[in-house]
A and B are shown apart, each in its own frame.
Chain A
Amino acid sequence: MIEVSKLSKDYRDDGTVTHALRDVSFSIKPGEFVAIMGPSGSGKSTLLHILSFLDRPTRGIYTFLGNDMQTLVDHELAYTRNKEMGFIFQSFNLLSRASVYENVELPLLYAHMPVGDRRHLVEAAIESVGLSDKILVEAGKLSGGQKQRVAIARALVNKPQIIFADEPTGNLDSHSGAQVMEILQKLNDEGHTIILVTHETYTAEFADRLIKIRDGMVESDIRIEKRRHGGKDFFK
């Protein structure tokens, strides 16, 4: 599903060049749950941005679902992001004055989906993160954990093949963090590919593969034993 080969990213700021990524290569198969770890400034976010079509590499080849990113123009990238990718950010990035419903609906608006078809998709997504009772509440009025669950509902409402999460638990207490990880695990069980950037070994243990990055290079890439948490009664 994902194929990267000798991927590099340089940032140039008046004279100084930062090599955020150097010749990174790996591939990811559908249904994998990959955790990316590494020290601060090692290039994790940079990598995730490129993988999620938000940024372009300086050198190297990135193929997503058989398409070489180089051959795609901006609106094709936007289209792919909308159809095949879901995003979860550390800082939630909700429209704080819009309702939960409107936030989750957002990707469907850009998919040109008619109003009638949207409703049940949005409601189902909100239901799956356990926030049906908050559906008309302004997103800004929710707790951190609830906000991140809204963000997850938004990430999965368009039924993407892959979900990118950049430190989704970074701003949450351990209880809310665990809830979020539970949901991601459930999504992975349903067949979504998940790529997770994290600092915490605890959250990385939900993955079945761990890629460690250091100084913009892959330090290690290992398969790990998936650790299972909680269960269905977690939300009770």
Chain B
Amino acid sequence: MLLRDSFKTAVHGLRHAKVRSLLTMLGIVIGIASVILLMSIGSSAQSLILDQVRGIGSDLVFIVPGATKGSRFSSPPSAQGIIIKTLTERDADALRREQSLLAVAPEVRGQTKVVYQNNDLTVTFGGVTHEFFIVRNLELSSGRTFTETDVRSFNHVAVIGSKLAETLFGSQTAVDKTIRVKNLSIRVIGVLDEEGLGPMGVDQDNMVLLPLSVAQKQLLGIDYYNLVTAQANSAYTAEFAQGRIVSVLRQNHRITDPDKDDFTVQTQEDALSLLGDITSIMTVFLTSIAFISLVVGGIGIMNIMLVSVVERTKEIGLRKALGATNGDILQQFLLESMLLTFLGGVIGILIGAFFVTLAYLILSNTLATGWAFSLPPSAIGLAVTVSTLTGVVFGLYPARKASRKDPIEALRYE
């Protein structure tokens, strides 16, 4: 049979059982829609995270206490909640003397309750120096940042995130208001611009920044750092600075065996590729769950096609009597199931695209910070291919069964 005629025949076959065809398609529609949705959201989330990390600056080098053992996917112990006290002021001072570095910004972190009048909420705080604002490229919408004096003389002042300012003070000006941070009275001296997520996923719009000395000694009562961010001098690459930092720290910690490093030094690039890998793995993982629903949909197709083959035994016999070869019958039924899943795929893509748009509208408003609309062509291509392939794979068995029917048995069938 000419392909065009086979196609017409297949469309006819499906049209005669409209409701059943639509119901059968549903499994594929749902499967494809979720694949599209998950792949799109995954790719948007990935570019969001990467954009934000990239916004932090590509000449940055991050130093965290503790060694990263094994694969690069295992995070340093400090990030796993294990307290490591090896990164100290002595290290920061040694790094400040290092030529290849423009600035060295040590910091400590914690969670604390912040109270203003009747408002109280728990936020992340950072203990930082004036260098922090330079390396992180943070801008203020009002007020000023810390001076070296603020840090040296334990001044009870704070720079707070834009959302936190809004939550605490509403439309009032934040600067010069006094808030309680744990048991300390702290005067707000500055408010950050909207900054979005920072490194390690800290919501910079809801954080409180305190002078390093106040946070470290008075709030936390410790004498080590959680993180040191260094900015490479423009004359040097981040990789070079990374190498210098490693040798300075080894010297400081008297380490001769590289396997015994008690710190981890990562460039922005390292962090980026790691993050990229993690989000890709998440996307692949979620998408493969969606594929399971496609398999279920495929089994539905197979089931219905088998029923259809039995119901149409007589038609098959007739077609064979009139000169249809086994190949013609196989083609007819295979085309039917492919058409079914292809259509299901197209409808699934449309529905998926609808939800991607919906997610975009909602997320770009709530997250504020650049949730990009993304409907990757690769996802659409994959969806079409996979849905059609589902039709082939799950339609093949019923189609073979149909094509092998004996014409007389089939004609005799009532």
A110 within 8 A of B: yes
- Mostly, the A contact residues are helix
A64 within 8 A of B: no
A97 within 8 A of B: yes
Chain B contacts of A70 at CB under 8 A?
none
Chain B contacts of A109 at CB under 8 A?
1-2, 5, 9
* A78 and B320 contact, CB distance less than 8 A: yes
* A54 and B321 contact, CB distance less than 8 A: yes
Contact with B along A67-100 (1 / 0, CB 8 A): 0000000110011011100010100010101100
Given the interface pairs A75-B327, A95-B315, the reply to whether A107 lies near B322 with Cβ below 8 Å is yes
B16 within 8 A of A: yes
Chain B contacts of A54 at CB under 8 A?
320-321, 407-408, 411
Q: How far is the CB of B192 from chain A (nearest CB, A)?
A: 71
B318 within 8 A of A: yes
B122 within 8 A of A: no
Chain A contacts of B323 at CB under 8 A?
78-79, 81-83, 107, 110-111
> CB < 8 Å: which of B4, B314, B321, B328 contacts A81?
B321
Nearest-CB residue, chain B, relative to A50: B408
* B1 and A97 contact, CB distance less than 8 A: no
* A106 and B322 contact, CB distance less than 8 A: yes
Q: Which of B92-134 contact A (CB under 8 A)?
A: none
Chain B contacts of A114 at CB under 8 A?
2
B319 within 8 A of A: yes
A189 within 8 A of B: no
Chain B contacts of A134 at CB under 8 A?
none
The interface size bin for chain A is 20 to 34
Given the interface pairs A93-B318, A95-B315, the reply to whether A110 lies near B411 with Cβ below 8 Å is no
Chain A contacts of B16 at CB under 8 A?
97
How distant is the Cα of A52 from the Cα of B322 in the complex, in angstroms? 11
How distant is the Cα of A102 from the Cα of B11 in the complex, in angstroms? 14
* A75 and B408 contact, CB distance less than 8 A: no
Chain A contacts of B408 at CB under 8 A?
49, 54-55
B12 within 8 A of A: yes
Q: Which of A100-139 contact B (CB under 8 A)?
A: 102, 106-107, 109-112, 114-115
* A112 and B1 contact, CB distance less than 8 A: yes
Q: How far is the CB of B6 from chain A (nearest CB, A)?
A: 8
A154 within 8 A of B: yes
Sample of 17 further A-B pairs with CB below 8 A, known A87-B321, A106-B319, A110-B328: A52-B321, A54-B408, A55-B407, A74-B326, A78-B324, A78-B325, A83-B323, A93-B314, A93-B317, A95-B315, A97-B12, A109-B9, A110-B1, A110-B322, A110-B323, A110-B324, A114-B2
Nearest-CB residue, chain B, relative to A105: B5
Chain B contacts of A87 at CB under 8 A?
321-322
How distant is the Cα of A52 from the Cα of B324 in the complex, in angstroms? 14
How distant is the Cα of A106 from the Cα of B8 in the complex, in angstroms? 12
Chain A contacts of B5 at CB under 8 A?
109
Chain B contacts of A112 at CB under 8 A?
1-2
Chain B contacts of A154 at CB under 8 A?
322
Chain B contacts of A106 at CB under 8 A?
319, 322
How distant is the Cα of A156 from the Cα of B265 in the complex, in angstroms? 86
The interface size bin for chain B is 20 to 34
How distant is the Cα of A54 from the Cα of B319 in the complex, in angstroms? 12
How distant is the Cα of A81 from the Cα of B407 in the complex, in angstroms? 12
Q: Which of B1-33 contact A (CB under 8 A)?
A: 1-2, 4-5, 9, 12, 16
> CB < 8 Å: which of A83, A89, A107, A111 contacts B411?
A89
Nearest-CB residue, chain A, relative to B406: A55
Given the interface pairs A75-B327, A81-B323, A110-B328, the reply to whether A95 lies near B318 with Cβ below 8 Å is yes
Chain A contacts of B12 at CB under 8 A?
97-98, 102
How distant is the Cα of A114 from the Cα of B317 in the complex, in angstroms? 24
Chain A contacts of B321 at CB under 8 A?
52, 54, 81, 87, 93
* A81 and B322 contact, CB distance less than 8 A: yes
How distant is the Cα of A102 from the Cα of B12 in the complex, in angstroms? 11
Q: How far is the CB of B50 from chain A (nearest CB, A)?
A: 55
How distant is the Cα of A89 from the Cα of B314 in the complex, in angstroms? 12
Q: Which of A129-165 contact B (CB under 8 A)?
A: 154
Interface pairs A-B: 3 shortest CB-CB = A82-B323, A110-B323, A78-B325
Contact with A along B217-243 (1 / 0, CB 8 A): 000000000000000000000000000
Chain B contacts of A78 at CB under 8 A?
320, 323-325
- Could you give 17 example pairs across A and B, Cβ below 8 Å? A54-B320, A54-B407, A54-B408, A75-B325, A78-B323, A78-B325, A81-B322, A83-B323, A87-B322, A93-B321, A97-B12, A98-B12, A102-B12, A110-B323, A111-B323, A112-B1, A114-B2
By CB atoms of chain B within 10 A, which of A52, A54, A55, A115 has the most?
A: A54
Chain B contacts of A98 at CB under 8 A?
12
Nearest-CB residue, chain B, relative to A82: B323
How distant is the Cα of A55 from the Cα of B314 in the complex, in angstroms? 16
Q: Which of B294-353 contact A (CB under 8 A)?
A: 314-315, 317-328
Q: How far is the CB of B237 from chain A (nearest CB, A)?
A: 68
How distant is the Cα of A107 from the Cα of B328 in the complex, in angstroms? 12
How distant is the Cα of A71 from the Cα of B5 in the complex, in angstroms? 31
Nearest-CB residue, chain A, relative to B312: A95
How distant is the Cα of A82 from the Cα of B325 in the complex, in angstroms? 10
Chain B contacts of A95 at CB under 8 A?
315, 318
